[in-house]
Chains A and B, each alone.
Chain A
Amino acid sequence: MRSNPRDYQLVAPGTLHAVLSLLAEAPGKWLPIAGGTDLMVLYGAGKLAARNLVSIWSLPELRGIEVLPDQVRIGAGCTYAELREHPVIAREFPLLARAASWTGGTANQNRGTIGGNIVNASPAADSLPALLVYEAELILVSVRGERRVPYLGFHTGYKTTQLAGDELLRAVCLARQFSECLHHTRKVGARSAQAIAKVAIAALGGVAGGRVQEVRIALASVAPVPLRLFETERAVKGKSIDKCLLAAARRATVSEIRPIDDIRSTARYRSAVSSNLVEEFLRRLSAGAPI
């Protein structure tokens, strides 16, 4: 049943400081809402448990992409449309630009934000494997000040995060150090637009002297949180890519993911596709093919 707007409170204090003060008054009471592409779906279905919402849509302090010499700082309120259209993101962080381009359709890309994707913490979220691969750092802010945390480990379990009740995600920082690498990504879903991933991969790597020098692999929809495949990376790093290595990588992948059966797919299918996606990435890495 649809929600009754009478039961909900929504405020827009208008500045970051005012939002943080409100959050600090009663930590956990207020739920921030940006473009509403997740929360308004729950609201429309009568399933939004939070009754007090604070709008952070268009807060100037959360907008924009700042390009610094050694890093790119993406405001948490940056939309997918802004991400995919940004020349530095497209050139140096193509995994993120690509993920942004296949998140929903145009209207949702105009409203969905990277901060929302992170805080909503869905294991199927499109942009999160890319953030794992690029080893993003998050800036969290509250009236107590700012703190920086690695994105890896931010999700503590299914849909849970390290964010405190009075904190807001302010920005995502990416180090500009991957331009020499091969970037690879692919999403497997029921259709190419507007579908949530059954499995998705983001990976980067480099080969020198016939051996894998750098390798980072992450998958969506195969565990309670977006998953970095450290065991698989260990299995291939420093080795030359041959049939034996591909088999070892497939085994490592299947052993470290924890897929489930749900409305979109089955654990068995996800395991098979995950190891196929890892093998495809390694074959491309071996051939030196771009994405």
Chain B
Amino acid sequence: MSNSHEISGRREFCFTVNGERKTVPAYPMERLLDVLRHQLRLTGTKEGCGEGECGSCAVLMDGILVNSCLVPLLQAQNANILTIEGLAGAGLHNLQQAFLHCGGTQCGICTPGMILAALYLLKKNPFPTIEDIREGLSGSLCRCTGYMQIFEAVEEAARRQTSDEV
């Protein structure tokens, strides 16, 4: 890779999205968010502020929650990306069901990012307190201000996840 800096134009990038291997032609500074939305047509990932403040574009990259508007594509090379589209299996994911059940969704723009932030939280901390949930989701803004139902949905998902596992 020693001469890689001599290559400045468009080239092919490989990474895995929701379990599928993808190869896309792109510039290294393209935002992961734009490649997901425009090239791969995975429009579940939303753009809110475009500056890492709102969390609408959150995805998991190699298991870590990131704002995809702040990830240059080169840094996603060979990474494993999970977007909201990859969450449901045969049925809705536990978190998706809980958001539905608790009314954790209003206009829906923040929802994919909220759910991925909640997924990351529950993976790290399967028994979160309400304070842990508030902090874990503090990087995701809901302009409908439906926070209480969102926090309740995450609490419910945590309860279900725990009782399913027991």
Tell whether A and B belong to one assembly: yes
Residue pairs across A and B with CB atoms within 8 Å: the count is: 115
Q: Encode contact with A along B58-92: 1 for CB under 8 Å, 0 otherwise.
A: 10000011110111101101000000000000000
Contact of B121 with A by CB under 8 A = yes
Chain A's nearest CB lies how many Å from the CB of B78? Answer: 11
- CB–CB B29/A10 < 8 A: yes
Contact of B163 with A by CB under 8 A = no
Stretch from B2-10, B103-111, B148-156 at the A interface: B2-10
Chain A's nearest CB lies how many Å from the CB of B26? Answer: 8
Also in contact, A194 and B75, with CB within 8 A (given A106-B120, A107-B67): no
Chain A's nearest CB lies how many Å from the CB of B147? Answer: 12
**B11-64 CB contacts (< 8 Å) to partner A:** 26-31, 50-53, 55, 58, 64
- The count of chain B contact residues (Cβ–Cβ below 8 Å) is 39
**A173-220 CB contacts (< 8 Å) to partner B:** 192-194
Interface size class, chain A: 35 or more
Chain A's nearest CB lies how many Å from the CB of B43? Answer: 18
Give Cα A14 to B1, complex, Å: 8
Give Cα A3 to B72, complex, Å: 12
- CB–CB B65/A110 < 8 A: yes
Chain A's nearest CB lies how many Å from the CB of B30? Answer: 4
Residues of B within 8 A of A12 (CB): 1, 4, 74-75, 77
- CB–CB B4/A11 < 8 A: yes
Also in contact, A106 and B75, with CB within 8 A (given A8-B27, A9-B8, A53-B29): no
- CB–CB A104/B2 < 8 A: no
Most B CB atoms within 10 A — which of A14, A33, A44?
A44
Give Cα A14 to B139, complex, Å: 30
Residues of A within 8 A of B29 (CB): 3, 5, 8-10, 43, 53
Residues of B within 8 A of A170 (CB): none
- CB–CB B71/A40 < 8 A: yes
Residues of A within 8 A of B58 (CB): 107
- CB–CB B65/A5 < 8 A: no
Chain B's nearest CB lies how many Å from the CB of A49? Answer: 14
28 A-B pairs within 8 Å (CB atoms) are namely A6-B27, A8-B28, A10-B29, A12-B4, A12-B75, A18-B2, A36-B75, A40-B52, A40-B71, A41-B52, A41-B70, A43-B72, A44-B31, A44-B70, A45-B50, A53-B29, A104-B139, A105-B117, A106-B139, A107-B58, A107-B65, A107-B67, A107-B139, A108-B67, A110-B66, A111-B70, A111-B71, A194-B141
Which are the 3 A-B pairs with shortest beta-carbon distances? Answer: A105-B139, A193-B138, A5-B27
